[in-house]
Amino acid sequence: MHEGRAINATQCIAHVEHVASQLPDALAAVNLCEDRYAFLVAFCAIALRGQANLLPPSRATHAVEEVMAAHPGCYVVGDRSLHPAPQRYHVLPSLPVEASVEAMAWPAIPATQIAVVGYTSGSTGMPRPNAKSWRSLHASTAGNLHMLRQVVGERFSVVATVPPQHIYGIEMSVLLPLLGDVQVHGGRPFFPADIASALEDMVAPRVLVTTPVHLRALMASGVRLPPLAAMLSATAPLPAELAGQAEARFAAPLLEVFGSTETCAFATRQVTVDSRWSLYQGVQLHPQPDGTQIEAPQLDAPAILADIMTLHDAGRRFELCGRHADLLEIAGKRASLGDLTRRLLAIPGVQDGVVFQLDEADAIGIRRIAALVVAPMLDEHMILDALRAWIDPVFLPRPLRLVDSLPRNETGKLPRAALLELLARHVPL
């Protein structure tokens, strides 16, 4: 859907050809289009010109500038005027309402061509680039399409609250129509009422692509949604309690997707039914002492994940035990940052929070654990007292600071640099 009207494949191809003919020569372009259909057209036009789509970790000026600096000669394309605009910024040309492709050949893109360079969110450090070939994107899209068809059928429509620049957003709300009979809403509704309105505009069966952060806002708002065939969540762990509440409220299964910028999606689960993850077709995992090796149709070579996993059912399913980088060992005792954060969020009155490890070690060589918490009705001592009932004292976060909000990005992730900056601003003088 684009500007209230459905776009078919013929019109889309004409729009892609129209835009591709007006793009400058370069090796790559930063795609900042906000409308999902405009993003798709720009994405395909950039690829048709033999260029790579650069997807910065955020739309912030410094993030875009850093990506451009890493790709000399690239330009930026967007679907609206920006003030101030990035250097070499090109506004997407208007898309003709009436379009014909009678004389056009069906576009062909080499399978090995790099179509996307996506950047990690920076939640574990500096954002890192990850290149995706056209073949890789085709394979990952086929896996996602197969997974969704098992739940909602061959044809469905999608409304997404996540930006198309994020790998989860591009996988679940941009690429699906290129391979299947899927209709996608062009907007990115943010407020609960806007999400409900966007879903009303789409034909059933409907799939809502969202995140735990956006899902909490939907639940808190009390908004009524039209009938859903399924909900999809990623970018952060989904608490089973929240999943159960959402399924009861919206009468639809809530599926979690597991993946990363490096691997794309490769597993799914319905946490209210089973805590274990089911692998996509063709995916194989091989646990190692410090992580897990993955082989997948979308990967040109095996990759190493930082996640610690236990395999079940002859390797078709797995249980996530945490990330190697999240595992803590202090005074001979072990814990994980993920579990500590879950304990923190379970405290009544805590609206949001995160536990993370600092870079610097103390006088005896131990890296301290810190926490940032949104809890307007609690104080720091009350939160620490509640944590003592669940965790060993050596893992109590100190410092623990109350803040008005956490520096989450557009998909709800917490860039490590932003956490450290916020903590520094709340250290007592």
Q: pLDDT tens digit string along 278-318?
A: 999 999 999 988 889 999 999 999 999 988 899 999 999 99
| pLDDT tier at 148, thresholds 50, 70, 90 | very high
Res 325: pLDDT: 61
Cα distance between residue 132 and residue 70, in whole Å:
17
According to DSSP, the residues that pair with 268 across neighbouring strands are 257, 278
CA distances to 33, 118, 257, 303 from 42, rounded to whole Å, are: 8, 16, 26, 30
Give the pLDDT mean for 168-180.
94
**Nearest alpha-carbon partner for 184 in 2, 357, 410, 409:** 2
Q: Which of 287, 357, 273, 362 shows the shortest CA–CA distance to 320?
A: 287
The 8 Å CB, 24+ separation contacts for 97-100 are 99/10, 99/11, 99/14, 99/15, 99/18, 100/10, 100/14
Mean pLDDT of 70-98: 87
* Band of residue 429 on the pLDDT scale cut at 50, 70, 90: very low
SS3 state at 308? strand
Residue 28 one-letter amino acid: A
Pairwise CA distance, residues 361 & 273, whole Å? 41
184 residue type, one letter: V
- Distance, CA of 67 to CA of 73 (rounded, Å): 11
Instruction: Please report where in the chains the tokens 């065939």 appear, as a residue.
Output: 229
Look at residue 85 in the predicted model and tell me its pLDDT.
Answer: 83
Closest CA to 327 of 282, 276, 367: 367
pTM over 0.75: yes
pLDDT tens profile 181-194: 999 999 989 899 99
pLDDT band at 392 (very low <50, low <70, confident <90, very high): confident
pLDDT of 334 > 80? The answer is no
pLDDT score, position 195: 96
Using one digit for the tens of pLDDT, what is the confidence trace for 220-246?
899 999 999 999 999 888 888 899 999
In the predicted structure, residue 102 carries a pLDDT above the cut 70:
no
Pairing state between β 114-119 and 89-91: unpaired
Digit-coded pLDDT (tens) for 343-373: 898 899 999 999 998 877 665 556 788 999 9
- Identify the residue with better confidence: 25 or 289: 25
Q: Which range among 51-55, 90-94, 270-274 shows the weakest confidence by mean pLDDT?
A: 90-94
Say which DSSP state 5 is in. B
